[in-house]
Amino acid sequence: MLLFIGFCANEVCEKLAVVGFQTNMINYLTQQLHMPVTEAANTLTNFGGTASLTPMLGAFIANSFEGRFWTITVASIIYQIVSSPSFMQLFVVIIGSKSGPGWVMSHKMFR
């Protein structure tokens, strides 16, 4: 029973985080990137769907081709490399940092 309560509390906290993220992202996409509300909502829906389906792809790869622990190790290393500040800085240098945050998205959408 205690495990069930912990699971429910975890799910409630996760849903609150998702709702807060979506609210902030709607504001950012509509006010900073000047997207229409419908397009911003569609973008977030696509992001949420992709985020929900990605673990199933990882599970398929882990069960079919690699081992469970090897997949976790490789994914963790890739995550650490991609989320490091030096990688982010390299990404900004590569794209040319034209006009601050949101340049990539606005460049692709409005030009």
5 and 49 share one domain: yes
Q: What is the pLDDT of residues 40-91, one digit of tens each?
A: 899 889 988 888 888 888 888 888 887 778 888 888 888 887 777 776 667 6
Q: Tally the residues of the chain.
A: 111
If asked whether residues 7 and 61 sit together in one domain, one would say: yes
Q: What is the pLDDT of residue 2?
A: 82
Tell me: the pLDDT tens digits for 90-109?
766 666 655 555 555 555 54
Q: Are residues 55 and 96 in the same domain?
A: no
**pLDDT above 50 (res 111):** no
CA distances from 51 to 18, 80, 88, 91, 100 (A): 11, 18, 21, 22, 26
pLDDT reported for residue 38: 92
- Mean per-residue pLDDT of the chain: 79
Q: Are residue 29 and residue 46 in the same domain, yes or no?
A: yes
Domain that holds residue 106: 68-111
